[in-house]
Amino acid sequence: MNKYFELTGKVAVVTGASSGLGASAAVAYAEAGAKVAVLARRLEKLEITKKKIEKAGGTAIAIRCDCKIFL
């Protein structure tokens, strides 16, 4: 592991983690040692990301949410 990307003892919250860059970021944070909260609208897809993290030995929680931006 890269010593400059050590997240043991930290918590990462990743929105949009059901697919694409969000899912990849969530897995990377977990691989760096963080406990990860994955958030998105599609809970069934979040569960896939959560299982990838847990299979790699990480800790994750999947939370369904809809983050809207108000302009």
In a domain, 2, yes or no: no
pLDDT in tens, 5-64: 899 999 999 999 999 999 999 999 999 999 999 999 999 999 999 999 999 899 999 999
Please write down the long-range contacts of 25-33, taking CB distance under 8 Å and 24 or more positions apart.
26/53, 26/60, 27/52, 27/53, 27/56, 27/58, 30/56, 30/58, 30/59, 30/60, 31/1, 31/56, 31/58, 32/1, 32/2, 32/5, 32/6, 32/7, 32/8, 33/1, 33/6, 33/7, 33/8, 33/9
- Count of domains for the chain: 1
In a domain, 3, yes or no: no
Give the structural domain span for 23.
8-64
Query: What CATH number does the domain containing 59 carry?
Result: 3.40.50.720
pLDDT in tens, 8-19: 999 999 999 999
pTM of the model: 0.88
